Amino acid sequence: MNRDLGRVFDRVADAYDAGRPSYPDEMYRAVSELTGIDLDGATAVDVGAGTGILTRALRARGSHVIAVEPGAEMLARLTSRLAGGSPAVAAVQGDGNALPLADGVADLVAYAQSWHWLDPVVSIAEARRVLRPRGAIVGCWNLHHAAQAEWLAAYESRLAEAVPAYWGPAMEQWSVPPIASAFEVIEERWIPWTRLVGIEDFLLDLRSHSYMAALSPEAADALVDRQRTELRKEFPEGVLSVPMRVYLAVGR
C-alpha cells in the first residue's frame, strides 16, 4: 500500500476525532429502506473509515464492520474508541482501491465522505468484487447547508477567500462528488438535519478539513481566530445551530 495515502488526515486526526459530526439516524433508516438490507447482522465494509464515525454507528446497529483506512493515526483513533464493544470490528490499514478482502464477503460497501479520495473506477470495481450478489454500495457526505443561513454562507465565503485549496458550497462550480454516475443507482437522497455544537468544537471541525491542513500553522490560526470572532458576534451564547444535509447515494 502507498503509505502516503493517509498522511493528509493523519496530521489532523485529533481535531477530526473531536470535531466532526456523526450522521443522523434518518440516514441509516434510509440505507436499510433503499437497499432492503437489515443493518442488524449485515457485514459492512467502511472504506476510508477515518476515526470510525460510521463504523461505530453501524456497529451500534448490529453490523459486523470491516473498517479499511490507510492513515495510521486515523486508524489509531478508530481502534481506541472501539475497545470492549460488540460486535467485534475488524480494523485494517488498507487502500480502498485495492481492498485487502476476499471476493463476495460483504452486504454493504460504504464510503462516508471518502469516495472522492479514491479512484472513481477502480474503487467501485473493488466494491463490486467484495460484495455478495444482493449487496449494495453506499456513498454519503455530511455537508453544511449554507443556503439555509446567512451566517453560514458568510462563514463559507470567508473560507473560500482565505484558503486556496477550499472546495465547498461557497464556490459556484462546487457539486457533490459524482458517485451516482459510478454505479447503478437505486436512489439519491438529501437528508436535512440540524447540528447543535459549541463554537470551539465547530472550530475543531474546521481544523480537521484537508484544505486547512494545507495552510501554514500561522495562517490556519489566523483564520480560526477570525471565524471565532465572527461566530461569537452571531452566537454570543456560544452554541451554534448549524443547518446540515447529508447527500446519500445508494446503488448496486
Interhelix angle 217-234/199-207, nearest 10 degrees: 150
Q: Provide the terminal-to-terminal Cα distance of the chain, rounded to the nearest Å.
A: 27
If the CB atoms of residues 63 and 113 are measured against ligand SAM, the closer one turns out to be: 113
The reply on whether position 70 binds ligand SAM by CB under 6 A is yes
Burial 157-195 (b: 16+ CB within 10 A, else e): bebbebbeebebbbeeeeeebebbebbebbeebebebeb
Indicate which single residue of 30, 37, 42, 47 sits in contact with ligand SAM (rule: CB under 6 A): 47
The region of 3-11, 101-109, 179-187, 233-241 touching ligand SAM under the rule CB under 6 A is: 3-11
Give the interface size with ligand SAM as a residue count (CB under 6 A). 22
Indicate which single residue of 28, 117, 155, 183 sits in contact with ligand SAM (rule: CB under 6 A): 117
Indicate which single residue of 19, 24, 50, 135 sits in contact with ligand SAM (rule: CB under 6 A): 50
Query: Which residues lie closer than 8 Å to 236 by C-beta, 6 or more apart?
Result: none
Closest distance to ligand SAM from the beta carbon of 40 (Å): 21
Interhelix angle 150-162/217-234, nearest 10 degrees: 160
The region of 47-55, 179-187, 196-204, 227-235 touching ligand SAM under the rule CB under 6 A is: 47-55
83 to 112, contacts with ligand SAM by CB under 6 A?
Answer: 95-97, 112
Distance between CA 171 and CA 151 in Å, rounded? Answer: 16
The reply on whether position 182 binds ligand SAM by CB under 6 A is no
The region of 2-10, 58-66, 127-135, 178-186 touching ligand SAM under the rule CB under 6 A is: 2-10
Closest distance to ligand SAM from the beta carbon of 109 (Å): 11
The reply on whether position 65 binds ligand SAM by CB under 6 A is no
Is the bond preceding 87 in cis, omega lying within 30 degrees of 0? yes
Residue nearest to ligand SAM (CB): 50
Indicate which single residue of 12, 15, 19, 20 sits in contact with ligand SAM (rule: CB under 6 A): 20
If the CB atoms of residues 67 and 223 are measured against ligand SAM, the closer one turns out to be: 67
Distance between CA 174 and CA 177 in Å, rounded? Answer: 9
Closest distance to ligand SAM from the beta carbon of 237 (Å): 28
Closest distance to ligand SAM from the beta carbon of 34 (Å): 19
Positions touching ligand SAM (CB under 6 A) are: 5-6, 9, 20, 47-50, 53-54, 69-71, 74, 95-97, 112-114, 117-118
